Amino acid sequence: ILNVEQSPQSLHVQEGDSTNFTCSFPSSNFYALHWYRWETAKSPEALFVMTLNGDEKKKGRISATLNTKEGYSYLYIKGSQPEDSATYLCACHYGGSQGNLIFGKGTKLSVKP
């Protein structure tokens, strides 16, 4: 069974702090990695889809990197704001699994003003 691990499970930071969290995944037969942002009482929204080793993507203060050879991705948030408080989900797609994205359990970020 493929397992996507996210760490830490939760994180509390002060406004203005920069932070990062990790997604670890089996690298064999890897096709793509997704990052989603999930605010309480809303639906998950996509941040990035990454496929190539060494990929780096950026959206405003949020960026992500991908290492497919060693099986990890980092999500960085620069200068955290209270509105960044959310659960960040990582999900991976593997060859042979067709439509199935394997989701991690998420990292819950709380940013205190």
Q: How far apart are CA 20 and CA 53, in angstroms?
A: 19
Least distance to another protein from the beta carbon of 96, Å?
11
Closest CA to 7 of 27, 28, 25, 22: 22
Least distance to another protein from the beta carbon of 31, Å?
4
Taking the CB of residue 69, how many other CB atoms lie within 10 A of it? Answer: 10
**71 interacts with another protein by CB under 8 A:** no
| Closer by beta carbon to another protein, 45 or else 56 | 45
**40 interacts with another protein by CB under 8 A:** no
Residues that bind another protein (CB under 8 A): 4, 31-32, 34, 36, 42-46, 49, 51, 89, 91, 93, 98-106
